[in-house]
Amino acid sequence: MRPLFVTACLSLAAISSPTLAAGPQCPPTITVTAQPEAPGGWAPYAGRDSHGFVGITLIEGDRATQMASASRSTLAPDNEAKHARKLVQVWEFDAAQRGKLFVLCRYRGTEATLAADLPRQTRRCTLTLETDIRGAVLDEPKTPPQLDCR
């Protein structure tokens, strides 16, 4: 398959300064255009699919270098708690020891992702995911995961 092209529709309100002060917000959906490679005798036609936000990966280091690497420096949550059919994951960052960080937004049914650098003043990120009665994260939640970085 040829490279995927990812398009995220962001309004001007989504990139206003109050939103940036709180950290990047993963778009609830992305549209991915895929161009298949066709074997002899076949004609390829591109497809466009919408994919819902399913979660994040926090990565330490230079974004361009880390995204080109097969082994990224991912950060595990510092704390994880289940409350009333929700899983809350928390990452905490020490200002004195913090290097470059970025968030990788992941989407259902695709390897396409979006990435954004976290502002230097970010000290904490919280991700809230919907779970079933047993505490397993839902594949298709009623509400998308909620990301809050401050």
Q: What is the pLDDT along the chain (150 residues), one digit of tens a residue?
A: 444 444 333 333 333 334 444 689 999 999 999 999 999 999 999 999 999 999 999 999 999 999 999 999 999 999 999 989 999 999 999 877 778 999 999 999 999 999 999 998 899 999 999 999 999 999 889 989 999 999
Output the pLDDT for position 41.
Answer: 95
Q: What is the model's pLDDT at position 6?
A: 42
CA torsion angle 90 96 100 102 (round to 10):
10
pTM for the whole thing? Answer: 0.79
Q: What is the pLDDT of residue 11?
A: 34
Burial class, 77, CB count within 10 angstroms (exposed 0-12 / middle 13-18 / buried 19+): middle
